[in-house]
Structure 1
Amino acid sequence: MDPVLAYIESQGLKNGERLPPERELAEMLGITRRAVRRSLEHLELGGQIWRGRRNGTFWGRRPPTLALGIERRLGRASPDDILEARLTLEPAIAALAATKASEADLDTIAIYMRRTAEAASDDTWAQWDGAFHLAITEATRNEVFVALVTSLNASRAEGPWKRIRVAAMTAEKRRNSIAHHRTILEALRKRSAEDASRAMRRHLLSVQHHMFE
């Protein structure tokens, strides 16, 4: 069993209760902080925990926020609408992340980039792709952007967007997407807002071409 999940169950944590910091968890469980971080990433992607930007990590699903109202509207949005919004929003987010991301943020983004390259199934690839884009957004320290991209990710994981992605995606297109992710990360590491914005826009235009050609 996942070590952090085993700890949560042994402690009988209730929904909304805070987990100890990574360092304390690593000491209590006798594992490395890297192993703790990997476990938390999987639990977060599975919706079993959520992380506040300033107040720690919590067991259960994230409480209703701004994202709830956005998700209701996105349920009526077409894939074209979603991609148009991403093309408007995410290049600006990437530019801001280039100036505000910490080294830890960049390391997390790099991990998610590698996970997309290692993914064996479409669903796993889509999950890590969403995590990559959300990690860039979280590096901006802007909760409004985080709520928006979280909701966009949820819309991309189901419904018409997923059906089009599954029908259109090929191994070659996936490799192309991963190469774009690498270019975005390089721009972020260079702290170049202009290059990060340009790389993100080029990536999303490629997604548009691949999905709707």
Structure 2
Amino acid sequence: MSSEARDREPSGPVDGPPRGDAESLRKLLGQEIGSSRWRIGDKLPTERELGETYGVARNTVRRALQVLEQEKLIIRHVGRGTFKAGDASSVTSAFLPSADSLSPAGVVECRLIFEPELAHLAVARATQVDLDRLAQCLRGGETATTVEDFERWDGALHEAIAQATHNQTIVAMAQALAVVRTRGEWGQLKARSMTVEHRRALHAQHANIVASLIDRDRDAARTQLREHILYVRKYMFGE
């Protein structure tokens, strides 16, 4: 083990939560993830190892991890493990004045400038894990039964594209922009404008973007990302 890895190991025994308390474990793991123990992209211990470390059952670990994934503190790859993601709330202040000052229309306008240009790096640097994550997000959107679920997978897919660049500044900026999705105004706009036809169109656009990234076609991916965000702007704001 390298000295750098040892520096990120806990320095002493961990005081675990009461057995069976998934919420306490979630809070404790959230604190660990927010500390310097793991860096963004680091792989976390397995469910079994976490259960042994904190003295809880594996299903308790699984419930805690599910909430942490919903909070976008971790990314879980089936068959590969759990990885630390960026914390959108912690990076917002580094790049943007405050979440409350962001308008949905302004964020979409910024995304139109920002996201299509990620295609070049994502095509050049995406690993198989990244491509699998994109496919997972695409499947999640396809099977979502509510607008909220579809929106969650939509956001996860766009964040996965940023993650595929393996540029942590880009990832932090993308997560900061995504904070607007947590605000009520965005949800209300989505609920009013999300018809069955719009959802089908969005999923088809997502599928084309993912296919181009998998095919390593950066020009097609760039064009499709731009057309996708223009479509979002049009149906949400009439622009």
Query: What's the TM-score bracket when you normalise by the shorter of the two chains?
Result: 0.7 to 0.9
- Residue 72 of structure 1 aligns to a residue whose secondary structure is coil
Counterparts in 2 of 1:96 and 1:170: CA distance versus 1, 3 Å: same
2:84 maps to a residue whose letter is T
Q: Which of 191, 197, 204 is residue 166 of structure 1 equivalent to?
A: 191
Alignment RMSD (CA, Å): 3.5
Q: What is the Cα deviation at residue 172 of structure 1?
A: 1.1
Provide the residue aligned with 1:142 in structure 2. Answer: 167
Whole-Å Cα distance in 2 between the matches of residues 135 and 64 of structure 1? 17
User: Is contact 1:45-1:131 (8 Å) kept?
Assistant: no
Q: Which of 108, 113, 130 is residue 83 of structure 1 equivalent to?
A: 108
- TM-superposition CA deviations, 1:89-108 (whole Å, max 9, x none): 00011232111100110000
- Residue 84 of structure 2 aligns to a residue whose secondary structure is strand
- Residue 141 of structure 1 aligns to a residue whose secondary structure is coil
Q: Is 1:92 equivalent to 2:114 in the alignment?
A: no
User: Is contact 2:91-2:176 (8 Å) kept?
Assistant: no
User: Is contact 1:97-1:140 (8 Å) kept?
Assistant: yes
Counterparts in 2 of 1:211 and 1:14: CA distance versus 1, 3 Å: closer
Q: What is the Cα deviation at residue 42 of structure 1?
A: 5.6
User: Is contact 2:138-2:203 (8 Å) kept?
Assistant: yes
Q: Which of 68, 73, 84 is residue 57 of structure 1 equivalent to?
A: 84
Provide the residue aligned with 2:207 in structure 1. Answer: 182
Whole-Å Cα distance in 1 between the matches of residues 211 and 48 of structure 2? 30
Counterparts in 2 of 1:142 and 1:28: CA distance versus 1, 3 Å: closer
The count of residues paired between Structure 1 and Structure 2 equals 198
Of residues 168-177 and 69-78 in structure 1, the stretch that sits farther from structure 2 once superposed is 69-78
Whole-Å Cα distance in 2 between the matches of residues 100 and 119 of structure 1? 29
Q: What is the Cα deviation at residue 50 of structure 1?
A: 3.8
1:25 maps to a residue whose letter is E
Q: Relative contact order, CA 8 A, sep 6+: which one is greater?
A: 1
Whole-Å Cα distance in 1 between the matches of residues 74 and 138 of structure 2? 21
- TM-superposition CA deviations, 1:175-205 (whole Å, max 9, x none): 1000000000011011111111011011111
Q: Which of 141, 160, 184 is residue 116 of structure 1 equivalent to?
A: 141
Of residues 16-25 and 73-82 in structure 1, the stretch that sits farther from structure 2 once superposed is 16-25
- TM-superposition CA deviations, 1:13-55 (whole Å, max 9, x none): 57216589567436887xxxxxx999856632235x446xxxx
Whole-Å Cα distance in 2 between the matches of residues 157 and 14 of structure 1? 19
Provide the residue aligned with 1:15 in structure 2. Answer: 31
Provide the residue aligned with 1:32 in structure 2. Answer: none
- Residue 75 of structure 1 aligns to a residue whose secondary structure is helix
Larger-gyration structure (1/2): 2
Identity of aligned residues (%): 31
TM-score between both structures, scaled by the size of structure 1? 0.76
